[in-house]
Structure 1
Amino acid sequence: MEDKTTKKSMSEAERLELAKKLDKELDEFINNLPKRTQTDKPLEEGWQEELENHPFFMKKPPEPGDKLHPLYEGLQQLKYDPLENTPVELATSYKEDGNFNFKHKNYRLAILAYTEGIKVRCGDVDLEASLLNNRSAAHFYLKNYRSCLRDCESALKLNRTYIKVKIRAANCCFQTAQYDKCIELCDTILDSEPGNKDVVKLRQDSVHKKKDKERNSRKKELDFKRRLKEEELLLTEIRNRNINIDSKNNSLSIQDLEVHFPALVENKVHLDEENNLVWPVVFLYPEYQTMDFVQSFPENNLLIYYVNEIFSVPAEWDTEKKYTPDKVNVYFENSKLQKVYPVDTQLTLKQILQHEKYLLKAGTPSFIIFSKDSAAEKNFLTKY
């Protein structure tokens, strides 16, 4: 829609001259249309498109950004010139444009037209209420429920007798889960139309949805409290074991136990039914730049149990078959001290984590494994 702030005002003489020119050009256009007989050849291509672009024959209004026919521009200037039209006339013109687009289901163009009409602030309360009402309807068809509700509320401030607007507002409240407000609007409508079955059903649906929402809210609150309790118990058990945790604030929090390995994000440390810690564990093989994961490693299990299980069958990458339970060394690294320490695989995970030099990072115990006396192991140890 053309911005009325860019139009130049026209004098009375210019208006008469433009009207005369429009009449003359229309006459010339009609007179110059090819007159056909049965023996005539087909008209040149494009004549129908040219005809439809003429403002007197076009079947639909131009879209925003379309090139306008000069006659159409002139008509637009006559129609929307604020110096040639009263505010009420301008607002009415924009309303008519909006209604035309609404009728043809061009709801976005309708919204643009109604908005221009509202911006005029014509001072006619009924007309302004009608523009807001119509724009709310266009928003509703586009499922812009919050925008629709705002327009409904503005329209009702100007005219509280709009039953259709109240019904539309109630539906918007339902769609946006504002069930108390929906019920209140339904009650107001039913005071005037007690037999409105659609509103009765909408109210009943809102009551049911409200109960579901409240029940879900209570459940979420209970789940949140239970999770907090479980997390606090978990942190207490870890503190009681004197396990050194790499903490950002030197105070253990649940965030310090967040797993950083994608394969283990669903397997965070937790307590079993007997309050034993169950950890996700990583085995690293720097020689081959690969790793293994144990999703659930109970703290009272021996490390050797998993070493035996992992290396019971040679891994695909172990082409030399040198990684066997009796031919591997296991280490842990303290990144702050920049040192590595050998691990006794006959100890439980709990005993290993309680080692005074063990520093647990990202909620995931990790161990480095090499083939005994291999060149890769010797080269690794020289770095520490």
Structure 2
Amino acid sequence: MATEVKVPALGESITSGIIAAWNVKDGDYVEKDQVLYELETDKITSEGLAEVAGVISLSAAEGDEVEIGAVIASIDESADAPQKSENSDTKEDAKAEPSEEKTESASEKKSDAVSPAVRRIAEEEKIDPAKVEGTGKDGRVTKGDMLKAGSSRMPAEEEKKPAASAPAPAKPASSGERTTRKRMTPLRAKIAERLVAAQQEAAMLTTFNEVDMSAVMGLRKKYQDAFVKKNGVKLGFMSLFVKAVVNALKEVPGLNAQIDGNEIVQNHFYDIGIAVSTPKGLMVPVVRDCDQLGLAGIEKSIIEYANKAREGKIGIDDLSGGVFTITNGGIFGSMLSTPILNAPQSGILGMHTIQERPVAIDGKVEIRPMMYLAVSYDHRIVDGKEAVTFLVKVKQALEDPARLLLEV
């Protein structure tokens, strides 16, 4: 009896995807709930699990574009499972002294279960996934586990490398080849499509201001230890910016609206999208009901989404329904930018790097940590006065954090 492996439905707007990687080979014996493949769509990357145990026969290859509901493999349930080694017949033998053969097979099994992202990091960083403690389902090693293992290695490991291992000049992919081509992933293609559409369909304009971050930085420094002790997470800048945006949206509701055909849809909730950079492209998971969350709740949501995004576990629901977006180019060193709208939203706030600059304070020149802010907005629905007022409200809340508590 053979069970078909079909591409599952992932959301109403997703009709197809590309098989990014097979985690098993044709003819392999697979266990129930084992990860078989990674499917990349225009919104998310998801994993496909085996519904039954048996020998798998692949009918689609890596890189193939497949429709939702398509059969990409079959599993023969009648096939016998691989015979176990004689040394594992009894528990007593297993407890007595594990053989090298058993240790090796366990290691190989753990290695076979890892994703392509984990294998890539293993090759680049020379880390054996079998020696990394996995935090994924059934103890699987995730990309986050590998990155953590790589960052925690002792500096002594670097010292052991021979001096001759200095970086070599970049070389072409192959002899005589000056360029290479690869197919654009569905996610990257969708990002490109949405960015171009946002610029073509909206009357997009950007206004700028700058904010003195002294008060926010002083607040974090004063209360960071107590905040971490109570909540288990650090107080970051992003949660304070989210609260400042929510406060400003309440004062200027025009930026919490969107155009739908010939109608203006006014939102009365505050689900804020936080742009997160991942190896596969930019994603914007949405933190729900930010007006009802405290700073700790927002920080925990952001951390959870960031981890899910980097491990490829973001779902459609995580990306849907935001009313406003915040993007932080400052973490990459950006001093100033004009962020593009995340349609159909009418506004997006761009944060930038903090730099100490001389500014005039009460007639005196002082060195202050300053950040440029940019808000891009849809001029079809938001007037310049509203956009400027919104940005001033954000600036005031950050320069005087007490305003966030009083909502003024």
Which bin holds the TM-score, normalised by the shorter protein? under 0.3
Bigger Cα Rg: 1
Q: Which has the higher contact order (CA 8 A, sep 6+)?
A: 2
Q: TM-score, normalised by structure 2?
A: 0.20
If each structure's strand is expressed as a fraction of its own residues, which one has the higher value?
Answer: 2
Q: TM-score, normalised by structure 1?
A: 0.21
